[in-house]
Structure 1
Amino acid sequence: MSLLLPTTPTAWLPPLRHALPSPGQGGAGGSVAAAEGRGIAREVLDNGIVALAREIPDPDLIAVSIGVRAGSRFEDDPTAGAAKFMEKLFLQGTERRPSADAVQRPIAVRGGALGTQTGSELVIFAAQARTADVDVLFDVLADVVLHSTFLQDRVENEARVILEELNARRANPNVLAGDIFLPAVLQGHPLARSAAGDLENTPRLSREALCAYRDRLFVGRNTVIAVVGNLPTAEAFDRVSSAFDGMPSGQPAPPSVTSPPPARPQRIDHQAGSAAARIILGGPLPGLRSEDRFPLTVGSAVLGPSGFRLFREIRDLRGLSYDPSPAQVLFPDVGLWMAAAGTDPSNVDLVIELLRAQFTRLREEPIDEAELTDARNFLEGSLVISLETPSAQSGQIIRDEAFGSPVLSDEYREGIRRVTVRDVQRTAQTYLDPDQATLVVVRP
């Protein structure tokens, strides 16, 4: 459910599976073993950059993803909104390529793509091109990451763009509901800061403040680079080292090791839109490092894409909503569960009752073995399909390394396969209490 992840891409990016621990967080040894177990080679450069490579001869292309721990959770009040500027400004020009067009053109004219994205944990750079164009690919990426100029006129222009985007989010009830829900659940937590930017502070952020944010966080010890495609591993490492050895090592960002905030029953009603209402019900969870993520993920699949419980009860049987769906957002240390639905304003109370009833059912009644099998098969199958391209794999590899919780591994599949009916009910009873949930309703 993308409305809860305010990480709008500029240009192109591989799909995100998780909102994004720091390089080596959770144990460097575990990261090394996990990488080797996935057929991924791993090296740490002298400046602290973690480089990972996976050789795939077919198709004949190269995908590179770079993750820097510089997302919105590392902002403070004076720098609120700075992470969103990073997504914009790195593509606005370098000394050698003084415009956005000059940055994009060398890769675009060769049929490739270059994009950036800001999340709560990471700022991501992603690029892909034919293997024959690997020189251009690394040259542009290194120039963008190491030599972007952040000129004053670009800062002013992108501030206007960000404000327009934020106002557009406020005008979209579906997105607005998510933007209200996230900080309501995570009040006082660093992850409550929106990766989409800050409406009040964006006009106040100076070029000097943005450059200071960049220089503090965009350093080797905060950076993971993954290369996937038709390139020998040794050459991939040589190219990463040659291109990025000029990045200062710096100091790592603070570790992402907080605890989830307590659940708080609350209802927030907000008037917006002209036709439909948007409902979100949910609360906090433990993050990706918790073993409970596996049964919680299975339970979410039973409610949604494999078991269709919400869809069947709310849409198929009653026709009350086009898109009732559950979702989880999992950060390294904290997560969120939720269910969302759009409906006619006259049906809001009934849809809320039906959403609550399905979570109560999951807590009180064990799922059956067929539902468990379907959920496991769905989760394994959808993972394989979503990661079939080099670009998707490179994006997931940097998240696996940064989070210390590999999805591209036997460990992940075994975690899903270990889930029992009792595990699903236990975690639902522990975390998914609709009576202790945050409820957001946005309607005309």
Structure 2
Amino acid sequence: MFDEFVLDNGVRIIGERMPHCRSTSVGLWVASGSQYELPHENGMSHFIEHMLFKGTQKRSARAIAEEMDAVGGALNAFTAKECTCFYAKTVDEDLPLAMDILTDIFLHSRFDPEDIEREKGVVLEEIAMAEDTPEDVVHELIMLSQYGDQPISRPILGSEENIRSFTRESILEYYNRLYRPEDTVLAIAGNYDWEKVLEMAQRYLGDFKAQGERRSDFVTNPVEPTVLWREKDIEQMHLCLAFPTAPMGSEELYPTTLFNSVLGGAMSSHLFQSIREERGLAYSVYSYPNTYTDCGMLTVYAGTNPESAGEVVKLIRDEIAAFVETGLTEQEFRQAKAQLKASYILGQESVSNHMNALGRRKLLLDSTQTEEEVLAKIEAVTREETNAILRRVLMSPCAYAFVGKNAEKLAKTVG
């Protein structure tokens, strides 16, 4: 069971006690991500994530790092399409320090103009690193192919032009619009005293007030998928195909995850065996589902020699067509279900995984799910249901993205 409480200002607190552990993982989750950015703001959520480690009213950037290092803890953050999370993992006795530091950077960062200009250089290097990673580039491109020019398809890192344009004033305006108590969740998992957690939450977050107008909600609308490409002078052709799926929280999540495991989510999958093991045409080939609050997609990826790219695309399409025709066999279905249950159970051994699941689900869906509920839902999935969803998804119009030499030529063969 979970511990839950809502502060008077709307901050939601959720915890999962794991008394057999000697550690705690605590995270502050906020509904700030590229999904909520206007075009000229794209990259702002991620940039603010960086800035919150650059010093507060009572701690320098160095002090933030040194205080956590001094107790052997870990402090970090990440930005996603629909959320930003600042988190710490410590031994249980150091939870008060983790709470102090996390809430301090979350609420009292200085946003010093000199720090802002310096951090622009760091983020621009991060963008350059992603641009030099063609697998990242093609995954960004497939989002644009699938959703068109909508907020969900914008890159989390933003563009060089946007990053250079950010000012302290524009950053604070965005921060005040997005960092609001009603859009914030404090999640904790591990060995903790709930009453002490509530006392610390009230002390550190009780006076947290909204400073600006609330963000607008963006809705992702269905669009006709397209074929996009980027020419890059690199050794491999990186390619993706994508199909629309149900959004986060849908009962179709588990059937989709099951058939994805058989299609391209495991070493024994159809795509891995056909393209890598039998023909040696790719080192990396896989598929995966990705869900957001109002949409979802299943992506197939492969990296291959440009001369083999056309053959690989045809093999992927042929494998998908055959999969639609036959569906999952009884043996494949049982194996996929066993894999999914085992993967989930093994992930439950980490307090960080518990905190991540708690925080993300509470922030984005305002709900919780116990381990028993998850396993029961997996067990309840039928082969007939899975095959019906498989066919609907994989018979949908397909988006394509290609990155590499002669990408345009390849794109025109499928367009």
TM over 0.5: yes
In structure 2, the partner of 1:369 is 330
In structure 1, the partner of 2:374 is 412
Q: Aligned to 1:311, what secondary structure does the other structure show?
A: helix
1:148-297 maps to which residues of 2 (within 5 A)? Answer: 148-249=109-210, 253-255=215-217, 258=219, 261-264=222-225, 266-297=226-257
In structure 1, the partner of 2:410 is none
Question: Among the aligned pairs, what percent are the same residue?
Answer: 25
In structure 2, give the amino acid aligned to 1:298: L
In structure 1, the partner of 2:6 is 44
> Could you tell me the TM-score, scaled by structure 1's length?
0.86
Q: Aligned to 2:53, what secondary structure does the other structure show?
A: coil
The 8 Å contact of residues 400 and 408 in structure 1, kept in 2 or not, is answered as no
Separation in structure 2 between the aligned mates of residue 194 and residue 288 of structure 1, nearest angstrom: 20
- Deviation, 1:407, is 5.3
1:17-416 maps to which residues of 2 (within 5 A)? Answer: 39-98=1-60, 100-249=61-210, 253-255=215-217, 258=219, 261-264=222-225, 266-306=226-266, 307-404=268-365, 406=368, 408-416=370-378
The 8 Å contact of residues 145 and 227 in structure 2, kept in 1 or not, is answered as no
Q: Aligned to 1:201, what secondary structure does the other structure show?
A: helix
The 8 Å contact of residues 138 and 403 in structure 2, kept in 1 or not, is answered as yes
Structure 1 unmatched ranges of 5 or more: 1-38
Separation in structure 2 between the aligned mates of residue 387 and residue 246 of structure 1, nearest angstrom: 34
In structure 2, give the amino acid aligned to 1:381: A
Separation in structure 2 between the aligned mates of residue 305 and residue 249 of structure 1, nearest angstrom: 43
Q: 350-359 or 404-413, which moves further after superposition? A: 404-413
Separation in structure 1 between the aligned mates of residue 48 and residue 263 of structure 2, nearest angstrom: 37
Separation in structure 1 between the aligned mates of residue 221 and residue 177 of structure 2, nearest angstrom: 27
The 8 Å contact of residues 42 and 156 in structure 2, kept in 1 or not, is answered as no
The count of residues paired between Structure 1 and Structure 2 equals 402
- Deviation, 1:180, is 1.3
- Deviation, 1:374, is 1.0
Q: 77-86 or 330-339, which moves further after superposition? A: 77-86
In structure 2, give the amino acid aligned to 1:215: N
Separation in structure 2 between the aligned mates of residue 351 and residue 292 of structure 1, nearest angstrom: 29
CA deviation profile, 1:181-235 (whole Å, cap 9, x unmatched): 1122111332112112223211111110111111121111000111112112222
- Deviation, 1:255, is 5.0
CA deviation profile, 1:341-390 (whole Å, cap 9, x unmatched): 11111110111011112221222212111111111111111112123121
In structure 2, the partner of 1:5 is none
- Deviation, 1:252, is 5.5
Separation in structure 1 between the aligned mates of residue 293 and residue 229 of structure 2, nearest angstrom: 30
In structure 2, give the amino acid aligned to 1:95: Q
Separation in structure 2 between the aligned mates of residue 193 and residue 440 of structure 1, nearest angstrom: 15
> Could you tell me the TM-score, scaled by structure 2's length?
0.92
Equivalent position to 1:437, from 380, 398, 411: 398
1:415-430 maps to which residues of 2 (within 5 A)? Answer: 415-430=377-392
CA deviation profile, 1:388-422 (whole Å, cap 9, x unmatched): 12122111100121232645443333332222222
- Deviation, 1:244, is 1.2
Q: Aligned to 1:268, what secondary structure does the other structure show?
A: strand
Separation in structure 1 between the aligned mates of residue 128 and residue 395 of structure 2, nearest angstrom: 33
In structure 1, give the amino acid aligned to 2:244: P
The 8 Å contact of residues 103 and 204 in structure 2, kept in 1 or not, is answered as yes
Q: Aligned to 1:228, what secondary structure does the other structure show?
A: strand
Separation in structure 1 between the aligned mates of residue 300 and residue 106 of structure 2, nearest angstrom: 38
Q: RMSD of aligned C-alpha atoms?
A: 1.8
In structure 1, the partner of 2:409 is none
Q: Aligned to 2:156, what secondary structure does the other structure show?
A: coil
The 8 Å contact of residues 49 and 79 in structure 2, kept in 1 or not, is answered as yes
Separation in structure 1 between the aligned mates of residue 167 and residue 185 of structure 2, nearest angstrom: 28
| CA pair 393-63 structure 1, distance change in 2 beyond 3 A | same
In structure 1, give the amino acid aligned to 2:33: G
| CA pair 440-407 structure 1, distance change in 2 beyond 3 A | farther
Structure 2 unmatched ranges of 5 or more: 406-415
